[in-house]
């Protein structure tokens, strides 16, 4: 199969989401500045695989809208936000930013990507929690 530009762009978006979720996780743990995150993640071996602007858009968007994003999470979650695992919380924050503020990609694509991230980086059943939460959020 020959790789075309659409496939290449899709892969760059996947890497952008993956790295931005990791950056938001770092930010939530360390409470650092967005500029520091850029400098750290620009050194990542996979950074060249992502769309730098999209990566920064997600990080800036989540950080600038964090109080609204966390309000939405609190409204839709049966678990208090402070009790949600930081990996899962970072995935959900990025997802809500993407759907509520960015709105460039279909919900189904973002949901599938978020579940994959939870499966890869979260605990054993993280993907179930993320899937259930995000599905509930999309439906409402």
pLDDT digits (tens, 9 = 90+) for 67-92: 999 999 999 888 999 999 999 999 99
CATH number of 5-139: 1.10.940.10
* pTM over the 0.95 mark: no
Structure letter (DSSP) for residue 46 = T
- The domain locations on the chain are 5-139
pLDDT at 67: 97
Sign, CA dihedral 45-85-122-94, equals negative
């Amino acid at each position: 199969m020959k790789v075309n530009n659409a496939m290449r762009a899709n892969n760059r978006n996947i890497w952008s989401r993956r790295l931005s979720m990791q950056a938001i996780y770092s930010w939530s743990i360390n409470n650092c500045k967005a500029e520091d995150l850029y400098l750290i993640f620009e050194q990542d071996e996979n950074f060249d695989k992502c769309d730098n602007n999209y990566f920064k858009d997600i990080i800036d968007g989540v950080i600038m809208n964090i109080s609204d994003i966390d309000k939405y999470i609190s409204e839709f979650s049966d678990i208090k936000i402070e009790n949600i695992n930081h990996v899962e919380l970072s995935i959900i924050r990025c997802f809500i930013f993407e759907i509520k503020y960015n709105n460039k990609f279909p919900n189904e694509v973002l949901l599938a990507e978020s579940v994959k991230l939870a499966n890869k980086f979260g605990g054993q059943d993280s993907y179930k929690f993320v899937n259930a939460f995000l599905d509930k959020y999309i439906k409402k």
